[in-house]
């Protein structure tokens, strides 16, 4: 895993953002929020979206306790019926299991923004199980992860970049960090203040990506994290059963 370049912190008004990061609130991470935030500051990030799987409790606490120089954005990686979406600038939990269209509507009701993480990953890609077409929601999202540091194999990221270009969507890179060592391994440099929805949307018009790949050795901790979290009673949240399923 390559760290961000030493000169990545620009003191002339540019912001450095990572919009996809997990903490120990996620079922597959053991990274304490406090350690994640310290790592973000040490690596030059100015804005970090905490996007735990189907939870926002840790993100809310991190936002309220963020160290000087770091803005924590409350987010959630939502498991929809069609695939994962990243919601940011939210205050209330978005329940998993809704369709992508319903999920996007719920995010917009809170004034939040929507990104598509690792859309063509062969294990985690959008529509992999449901067969949903990503093009159907392209006009309704705000950005696409065109470089996810945890994607195995380069073609998935290349396809994501081609999709974003085809649909005129901003492309971002993301660490998708599940360990402290991965925080900020891939980040983006933007102008202006991306700490609000309007500010981030304006900043996405011109993005300088700093893509680096996470170490396969670091990612080997994920199965262990899942086992430990399961033993702690923090398994993956399941969608609530519909009334028909309860009969």
Q: Is residue 7 part of a domain?
A: no
The angle subtended at Cα 115 by Cα 88 and Cα 153, nearest 5°, is: 130
Q: Is 199 exposed, middle or buried (0-12, 13-18, 19+ CB in 10 A)?
A: middle
Q: Is residue 120 part of a domain?
A: yes
Q: Is 153 exposed, middle or buried (0-12, 13-18, 19+ CB in 10 A)?
A: exposed
Q: Which domain holds residue 106?
A: 14-238
Q: Is residue 63 part of a domain?
A: yes
CATH code, 183: 3.20.20.140
| Cα 221 to Cα 164: distance, rounded to the nearest angstrom | 31
- Per-residue pLDDT of the chain in tens (247 residues, 90 and over written 9): 434 433 334 555 899 999 999 999 999 999 999 999 999 999 999 999 999 999 999 999 999 999 999 999 999 999 999 999 999 999 999 999 999 999 999 999 999 999 999 999 988 999 888 889 999 999 999 999 999 999 987 799 999 999 999 999 999 999 999 999 999 999 999 999 999 999 999 999 999 999 998 787 787 889 899 999 999 999 988 886 443 343 3
Q: Is residue 192 part of a domain?
A: yes
- What the block records as the tokens of 24 is 């120990």
Q: Is residue 245 part of a domain?
A: no
Q: Is residue 38 part of a domain?
A: yes
Q: Is residue 247 part of a domain?
A: no
Count of domains observed in the chain? 1
Q: Is residue 66 part of a domain?
A: yes
């Amino acid at each position: 895993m390559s760290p961000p370049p030493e000169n990545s912190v620009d003191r002339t008004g540019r912001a450095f953002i990572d919009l996809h990061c997990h903490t120990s609130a996620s079922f597959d991470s053991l990274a304490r929020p406090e350690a994640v935030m310290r790592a973000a500051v040490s690596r030059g990030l100015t804005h970090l979206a905490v996007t735990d799987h189907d939870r926002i409790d840790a993100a809310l606490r991190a936002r309220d306790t963020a160290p000087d120089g770091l803005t924590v954005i409350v987010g959630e990686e939502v498991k929809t019926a069609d695939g994962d979406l990243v919601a940011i600038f939210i205050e209330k939990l978005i329940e998993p299991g809704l369709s992508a269209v319903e999920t996007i509507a719920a995010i917009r009701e809170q004034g939040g923004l929507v990104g598509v993480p690792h859309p063509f990953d062969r294990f985690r890609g959008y529509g992999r199980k449901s067969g949903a077409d990503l093009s159907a929601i392209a006009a309704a999202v705000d950005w696409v992860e065109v470089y996810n540091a945890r994607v195995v194999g380069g073609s998935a990221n290349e396809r994501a970049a081609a999709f974003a270009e085809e649909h005129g969507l901003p492309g971002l890179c993301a660490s998708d960090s599940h360990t402290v060592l991965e925080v900020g391994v891939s980040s983006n440099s933007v102008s202006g203040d991306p700490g609000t929805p309007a500010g981030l949307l304006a900043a996405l018009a011109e993005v300088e990506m700093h893509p680096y790949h996470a170490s396969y050795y670091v990612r080997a901790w994920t199965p262990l994290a899942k086992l430990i979290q399961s033993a702690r009673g923090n398994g993956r949240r399941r969608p609530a059963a519909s009334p028909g399923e309860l009969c």
